Amino acid sequence: MIKIGDAVPRFEDERLLTGRGSYTDDAVLSTDACMVLVRSPVAAANLTSIDTADAKAAPGVLGIFTAADLDADGIGHFKTGFPFKRPDGREMYRPPFGLLAKDVVRYVGDPVVAVVAETHSQAEDAAELVMIDYDDEAAVTDAEAALRDGAPTVWAGAPGNIAFVVERGDKAAAEAAFSQADHVTALDLRVTRVTANPIEPRSAIGGFDPDSNRYALRCGTQTPQRMRDTLAADILKISPDQIHVISEDIGGAFGMKNSPYPEYGLVLWAAKKVGRRVAWRSSRIEAMQSDFQGRDNHIHAELAIDADGLFQAIRVRSIGNLGAYLGPLTPHPPTANVGGMIGPYGIGAAHVEITGAHTHTPPTAPYRGAGRPEATYVIERLVDAAAVELDIDPIDLRRRNMLTPEQLPHQTPLGMNYDSGDFPEVLTKCVAVADWDGFETRRMKSAERGLLRGRGLAYSIEISGGPQGAHQPETMSIQFDADGGVTVLAGSKEMGTGHGTAYRQILSDQLGLDPTRITVVDGDSDAIPQGTGSFGSRTMIAGGTATLRAGERIIEAGKSIAAEALEAAEIDIEFSGGAFRVAGTDREITLHDLARHADSKLNVAVTEKADGPTYPNGCHICEVEIDPDTGVTTLARYILVDDVGTVINPMIVKGQLQGGIVQGAGQVLMEQIVFDQDGQLITGSLLDYTMPRADDMPMFDIETHPVPTTLNPLGVKGAGEAGTVGALPVIVIATLDALRPLGVKHIDMPLTSERVWRAMKELS
């Protein structure tokens, strides 16, 4: 048996590490047709003609399709349900987001024609024969530039390229606080655009069975049931039960595989058209052009401070680059998680204004953190800059303003309700683990080697399982087999995050089940019709709650069955350690044995939700070394003490935190999606888009300081995004600390060697 809190190796790892994973492209059959997309080579243009005659005559071609064919069959468009408004109060314009571009292309990679052939090579050859005339227009790819007078227009229905303006907080209260401030710290910040680059690029297999009138889609998705519902309602306009979605191993998701994509609708529709299963797989270069991308914000932020160094108010103006189209979740990242800008501090007033801007770029969507790293980046950069300007120790300044456990729960001026935590103690513990006082010695040793050394501290707090995730229930079904084995059907979706191991631990601890006899199944919308999926660090909050409640029902049902088996009164039956027993006797029967005789009476299906979102928080301390001759910045040390609530599996949590840190470090140090003035993608492959490797990272020193929440029965707070949330600010702060003696006050991400070197040389 295993318990909650045990550092158990993941049950999934042996299968994955020995090459027995089952990914979408592994399921392609030799009889499947293959789809290739002809994508726009320009960022903005009118489509004046499409000639497919030669392509249709090419060997092996089964069908060539354009937007006109989709329209003829009544195929719909993706929709976004966010109720935002434009500056004049009108509802925001929802541009048509179809499966193929119609009349106009709006980014490099916009799909125009779908080619289906017997083989992938034949489809590629035929795609080369499609002749498209583009009447080029001017493009704009930068969100700030898109809002300027005279900028090229992406959509006529969104004048000035403004999709929406959203406000959070109390503007009057914030303005009043700023008018009385003794000091105001102001920063202009840039959070750059990045892409997920998963191990397995997106791929999909679509099928249609005319006998049952049902479609089948196999793809890597974090939300199989929502994928089914969206494709049914918005694209194919059929009942959800006419689509079967299967998602096995995903090969990396990070939010990018949360949303539906045009290719998924296309393989389903094309399968019906050609009478064959249709497979599509993205190349790496195609993925760089067509995957939904992340972040991309221009931010002006201000912090009002009184004479005692106490934070009075924050106000922020942010421009979020939405890209050309609004995917179902595109408006979410720049707007939903801005509450994290308050940080762990007792700030009395806040006002945030977010403008969503259209550009000639791929749509943006949630990417690990989905607005949380951006929010923490704002407040922690402000706090650190204020400490420098006021000549106050950065730890002392944070301590003066931190909420204490006695002040929780606390409603922030941006609407978050911090329910639990001990921010000062986590800070104290992290400072001790990092040997903060020994830094000057380490700095001098670096100097002896000709290197600049800097340190940074950042404190992050984020919302997990919310705002949508916590209030949407999760479904868990537990079924006992004839031999006493257990199958768990989970509405959540494993993404390489160890959900199967965590569910085994919960049930083994609660029910005394042998974890090796538990099978966890997910990602099948027929086997599990109800489910919300995995995103926003919600899985153990919602899925764990449902699992625990299911276990409670099994115990209650088992007492009645055990009473009959043990020939005793139900009131005398107790349960512990995996067995039902008659109180005061040694007569017992294990749950596994009872299940053999229960004739499915122990099977349960539970749909439950937590009482609300949670707020994992933590202190990050980082030290960097910089070579002044080259600008190369190296992470020398990284320490994190995190409160993720109850830790189900310390090994998994540490792995998640480490992965999150590396993902954040990648954005800070090297990753960036870059377009030229015509909208061409400069970072179009892994030769141009740099990714972090193991030798770029130090050994992380990670500890947890759990303060369980009472908002779910497990007390968990979520850990999947916590590492990324704090990594963005702390690495930048540490780098600026190293460069401060040279007069460098600010550098925007990514902190490439060239950018750091130029910042030093400009002031030398």
Tell me the C-alpha distance between 35 and 183, whole Å: 60
**Tokens in use for 12?**
């999934």
Structure tokens at 149: 């007078």
The total of other beta-carbon atoms located within 10 Å of residue 604's CB is: 18
Are residue 637 and residue 495 in the same domain, yes or no? Answer: no
Rounded CA separation 492/469 (Å): 11
**Is 471 in the same domain as 593?**
yes
| Residue 303 located in a structural domain | no
Which residue, 608, 637, 656, sits at the end of a domain?
Answer: 608
Count of structural domains, the chain: 3
Q: How far is CA 611 from CA 238, 463, 697, in A?
A: 34, 14, 38
**Of 574, 608, 642, which one is at a domain's C-terminal end?**
608
Do 645 and 759 share a domain, yes or no?
yes
**Do 575 and 708 reside in the same domain of the chain?**
no
CATH code of the domain in which 256 resides: 3.90.1170.50
How far apart, in whole angstroms, are the C-alpha atoms of residue 10 and residue 249?
Answer: 15
Q: Do 646 and 567 reside in the same domain of the chain?
A: no
Our CA angle for 749, 755, 756, nearest 5°, is 95
Q: Please report the pLDDT score of residue 471 as a whole number.
A: 66
Residue 2 domain-assigned?
no
Question: Same domain, yes or no, for 444 and 496?
Answer: no
Q: Give the length of the chain.
A: 764
d(CA 401, CA 392): 13
Residue 106, domain extent: 25-141+200-284
- Looking at residue 469, its pLDDT comes to 47
Angle subtended at Cα 554 by Cα 605 and Cα 477, rounded to the nearest 5 degrees: 20
H-state helical runs in 221-261: 224-230
Residue 470's pLDDT is 45
Q: ∠ at Cα 571 (570, 573), nearest 5°?
A: 65
Clarify whether residues 42 and 112 are in a common domain: yes
In-domain check, residue 165: no
Is residue 352 situated within a structural domain? no
Domain membership of residue 107 (yes or no) is: yes
Residue 543 DSSP label: I
CB 504 within 8 Å of CB 518: yes
Residue 53 amino acid letter: A
pLDDT along the chain (764 residues), means of 10: 95 93 96 98 98 98 98 97 93 96 98 98 98 98 98 97 98 98 98 96 97 98 97 98 97 93 98 98 96 98 98 98 97 94 98 98 96 97 98 98 98 96 98 98 98 98 74 92 92 94 97 95 96 93 96 95 93 94 94 88 94 96 97 98 97 96 97 97 95 95 97 95 96 98 94 96 77
Tokens found for residue 276: 């064959």
For residues 640 and 661, what is the distance between their CA atoms, to the nearest angstrom?
9
**Amino acid letter at 460?**
S
Query: What is the Cα–Cα distance from 416 to 372, expressed in whole angstroms?
Result: 13
The secondary structure of 567-610 as a DSSP string is TS-GGGEEEETTEEEETTSS-EEEHHHHHHHSTTTT-EEEEE--
Q: Are residues 569 and 640 in the same domain?
A: no
Inside any domain, residue 191: no
Q: 9 in a domain, yes or no?
A: no
Angle, CA of 12, 14 and 16, to the nearest 5°: 70
Paired strand residues for 477:
489, 605
- Both 29 and 50 in a single domain? yes
Number of helices and strands (H, E) in the chain? 21, 28
**Do both 628 and 682 map to the same domain?**
yes
Domain stop point among 284, 302, 328: 284
3-state SS, 478-510, equals EEECCCCCEEEEECCCCCCCCHHHHHHHHHHHH
Write down the pTM of the prediction: 0.96
Asked if 501 and 591 sit in the same domain, the reply is yes
Q: Which amino acid, 636? A: A
For residues 699 and 629, membership in a common domain is answered with yes
Query: What is the structure's pLDDT at 7?
Result: 97
Q: What is the CATH number of the domain that holds 446?
A: 3.30.365.10
Residue 154 lies in a domain: no
